[in-house]
Structure 1
Amino acid sequence: MFRHCIPSWVAVTDDGDVLVGEEAKRHAAVDPGAVVTGFKRLLGNIYTLINTSGKKFPYKIVHKNAAPYIELKTKSGGIHRHAEELTVMLLAKLKATAEAHLTGAGRRRHAISASWVAGMEVERILEEPIAAAVAYGLHRKMLFPDGGGNAIVLHVGGGTAEASVLTLDEDYGVFDFLAAQHDSFLGGDDFDDRIVGYFVDVIKNKHGVDIADDVEAVRKLRTACEQAKKVLSTQRHAQLRIKSLIDGLNFSETLTREKFEELNHDLFLKIVALVDKAISGAELLENNKKLIDEVVLIGGSTMIPKIQELVKDYFDGKKLNTELKPDEAAAFGGALAVGHSKNASWL
């Protein structure tokens, strides 16, 4: 089955081969210690900041040269990798996959955003919020007939959240950043953590079994919780079933959307606070959210109904731009930009 999106998972096999995406997720069933996800939130952070953040990670972090390294445990021994190394592994695989399907000089240009890791010349860096705005055609929609305007792009992904305020220059038709707010520890992984913690307690109270320190059992539970979270974006209830979770225990529980929202209520409010801080930091807006003309949501976690509801309420019922798949919108905008790069003065 063809997938447009590649999960940010990386695995290293006993033979040293690198697996990414769905392949890496499947490898977790064979060798869970050799698989890692959520590593992008470590990018740019020093070890002391990570160590004092109070955040729990689903992998061991070790200290090397003041930087945080992730420990991967293969059957042949332990290895340490920096988040940048893991990101390079991921991008290298993506580039190879793209080149396998994009033949010819013209079509290869569409893979330029991933090709820098291999040392190829990069023509342009297009920031993700601007790419998302381009995907929704805001450069045209906002330029005519009013001749400009302001937009906010809220990105909530697996590990991070960011709110970016953009303004469209009416003379040149290009986007400029007014302000941005970023949280490296706010995203889908954190929502999953809350669900996992809840069901760890349920299992302990119901069955007298504490699975918190059992890596394999927690991995199974996390996978089920992640799937349940996705189901709850379109349905009110999600059923979690895990055969032989631990010591022959067959796990079966229901998670309601209401319970999911209760577990993550404070985190959802932090997302709205991020939006508010971004607007406050944009001097041209004079702390007036009514000067925002367009609101764009990107990142898979913005599919959560409660997040959309809270953001819409914050903007007094303003229509949200959510028509495109939120985890593909920025990539789509980037492809449009590359396709028009020779005459796209509006970028």
Structure 2
Amino acid sequence: MFEDSVRMIPNEQHQTLTPSFISFDPDGEEFTFNFLKNDTTHKVLIGTPAKNKLHLNPQNTIFDFKLLLGKNFSDPQIQEGIKRWPFKVLPDQQDNPKIQIKLKGQVKEFSPEEICAIFLSLLKVSIEKYLKSLGLGCALRGVVLTVPGHFSDSQRQALKAAGILAGLNVVRILHDRTAAIFAYNFNPKNLPYNLNILVFHLGGRTLEVSVLTLDEDSVSEIKGSAWEVQDFENGLVEFFVRKLRKKYQWDVSGDLQALMRLRGGCEGVKRVLSSCIEADIEIGSLCEGFDLKRTITVEKFEELNMGLLKRCIQVVEEVLKVAQMRKGQIHEVILTGGSIHIKKVEELLQNFFNGKELNKSIPPEEVVAHGAATIGALLTG
């Protein structure tokens, strides 16, 4: 918070969003992490520079680490993730997941909490550097960390432990949906009824829908929620894998590096199609010297993902049923998450709610951060 308003802090790449990626890479800056038990100094990249290493250094580039927090290795979600993660995840003797990387010929293991702490500690360095550049010269007094609504208590505690390892004063662990409501600062005090709010979150790989009721004291009550994995890039990836297999008899499904490059290209297509009617994908030497070049239209993207798009509305219907509400009883709809920019998603939601105006004045990918900053300011004065 700056002068009673929320300001998004840019990172070193001048971006206000830092993807949750870490790459242990020779091109990284050298940092010392005193909370690590062994080998405390590593060359590390985070955010977009780390993400860009995914196809060059896939086994040492870690993502989805937040999903590993507070879970056993045998958890079905971890077992499902192992099928698509390029990095190794192995169990220890207590069935805790350990992330394994290979540096200079040596195998290193980290707990999910340690990986998360590395990420958070480097975010802290970036934020304090920015504050110093403004002449504020102050350290962070406290942080609010947010989690998906389906996170268990053990997952929340694991995230808090990671924050403490990173040297942060964690003043609150908050649900994303609660932060979203604070971002829009709804005030039901002068209304003759409680405010029913539907929070629709569509991120990179997850869909989460919640219905909450806000009373005159701004106390929210969860009436219903649901979440599931949704991956709009995967439809494109599978489309190209099928095309290459059918036309050229090349099976890239077993080529980790090619798949990572293909997924990166498909993510770029998805992003461009949020504002354009078509997007080009160009990947040089994808396999056996073959250069992939293709134009994908919005219509083709929607066709490949129509099942997921329809499922978004089905989940909304299911949550409303659990909440025992009709869609006409929802007063506000909040959109959060980067994949909200998929044009068809907003169109389907608006049609479902009979043309109702959806709350998107705050960029959907920034809503949760806005709400967390607002609550952090209230808690720390």
Letter of the structure 2 residue corresponding to residue 221 of structure 1: L
In the alignment, structure 1 segments of 5+ residues that lack a partner are none
Contact 2:183 2:371 in 1 (8 A): yes
> How big is the shift at 1:192?
1.5
Change in CA separation of 1:73 and 1:257 when aligned onto 2, cut-off 3 Å = farther
Structure 2 residue aligned with 1:270: 311
Among candidates 69, 83, 91, match of residue 63 of structure 1: 91
Q: Paired residue for 1:293, among 308, 331, 334?
A: 331
Task: In structure 2, give the amino acid aligned to 1:13.
Answer: D
Correspondence for 1:316: 354
Deviation at 1:21, TM superposition (A): 0.5
- Structure 1 position 327 matched with structure 2 position 362: no
Q: Distance in 1 between matches of 2:109 and 2:265?
A: 28
Query: Quick check: 149-158 or 114-123, which moved more?
Result: 114-123
Alpha-carbon separation, structure 2, partners of 1:308 and 1:117: 39
Residue in structure 1 matched with residue 33 of structure 2 by the alignment: none
TM-score normalised to structure 1 length: 0.84
Q: Say whether 1:136 aligns with 2:177.
A: no
Change over 3 Å in CA distance of 1:55–1:256 after alignment to 2: farther
Q: 2:319, 2:256 → 1: CA distance?
A: 38
Contact 2:22 2:47 in 1 (8 A): yes
Contact 2:142 2:171 (8 Å CA) reproduced: no
> Shift in Å at residue 178 of structure 1?
2.6
**Structure 1 counterpart of 2:198, from 152, 155, 169:** 152
Q: 1:159 to 1:261 in 2, by over 3 A?
A: same
Q: Give the deviation of 1:167 after TM superposition.
A: 1.2
Greater mean deviation of Cα atoms: 109-118 or 39-48? 109-118
Deviation of 1:31 after TM superposition, in Å, equals 2.0
Query: Which of residues 257, 263, 274 is equivalent to 1:222?
Result: 263
Kindly indicate whether residue 261 of structure 2 is the aligned counterpart of residue 232 of structure 1: no
Alignment TM-score, normalising by the size of structure 2? 0.78
Which residue of structure 2 aligns with residue 338 of structure 1?
376
| Aligned position for 2:124 | 95
Q: Which residue of 2 aligns with 1:166?
A: 212
- The number of aligned residues is 333
CA spacing shift, 1:127–1:51, aligned 2, 3 Å: closer
Question: Residues of 2 paired with 1:102 and 1:200: CA distance?
Answer: 46
Deviation at 1:202, TM superposition (A): 1.4
Q: From the superposition, tell whether residues 129 and 35 of structure 1 become closer, same or farther in structure 2 (CA, over 3 Å).
A: same
Q: Secondary structure at the match of 2:294?
A: strand
Residue 108 in 1 paired to residue 140 in 2? yes
Quote how far apart the aligned CAs of 1:73 are: 4.1
1: distance between equivalents of 2:224 and 2:266? 34
Measure the CA separation in 1 of the matches of 2:363 and 2:205: 18
2:224 corresponds to which of 164, 170, 179? 179
The structure-2 alpha-carbon separation of the partners of 1:111 and 1:98, relative to structure 1 and needing over 3 Å to count, comes to farther
Offset at residue 63 of structure 1 (A): 3.2
SS of residue in 1 equivalent to 2:140: helix
Partner residue of 1:207 out of 245, 248, 263: 248
In structure 2, relative to structure 1, the CA distance for the partners of 1:305 and 1:55 (3 Å cut) is farther
TM-aligned CA deviation for residue 75 of structure 1: 5.0
**What does residue range 4-153 of structure 1 map to in structure 2 within 5 Å?**
4-13=16-25, 16-48=42-74, 49-50=76-77, 53=80, 56-59=83-86, 60-64=88-92, 65-103=94-132, 108-109=140-141, 111-113=143-145, 116-138=164-186, 140=187, 142-146=188-192, 148-153=194-199
Distance in 1, matches of 2:340 and 2:176, equals 15
Distance in 2 (alpha carbons) for counterparts of 1:84 and 1:192:
28
Deviation at 1:224, TM superposition (A): 0.8
How many angstroms apart in 1 are the aligned matches of 2:172 and 2:77? 32
C-alpha displacement of 1:198: 1.0
Q: Which amino acid aligns with 1:316?
A: N
Secondary structure at the counterpart of residue 119 of structure 2: helix
Task: State the alpha-carbon separation in 1 of the partners of residues 82 and 53 from structure 2.
Answer: 25
Equivalent-residue separation in structure 1 for 2:249 and 2:310 (angstroms): 34
Deviation at 1:317, TM superposition (A): 2.4
RMSD: 2.8
The one-letter amino acid of 1:338's match is G
> Structure 1 residue 305: deviation in Å?
1.4
**Paired residue secondary structure (1:2):** coil
Q: Does the Cα contact within 8 Å between 1:33 and 1:74 map onto a contact in 2? A: no
* Residues 169 and 175 in structure 1, CA contact (< 8 A), matched pair in contact too: yes
Question: After alignment, is 98-107 or 306-315 more displaced?
Answer: 98-107
Distance 2:300 2:82 in 1: 22
CA separation of 1:157/1:86 partners in 2, compared to 1, >3 Å: closer, same or farther? farther
The 2-side partners of 1:54 and 1:90 are apart by 20
Range with greater deviation from structure 2 (225-234 or 49-58): 49-58
Q: Could you list the runs of 5+ residues in structure 2 that have no partner in the other structure? A: 1-12, 27-40, 146-159
Q: Cα gap change, 1:251/1:301 in structure 2, threshold over 3 Å: closer, same or farther? A: same
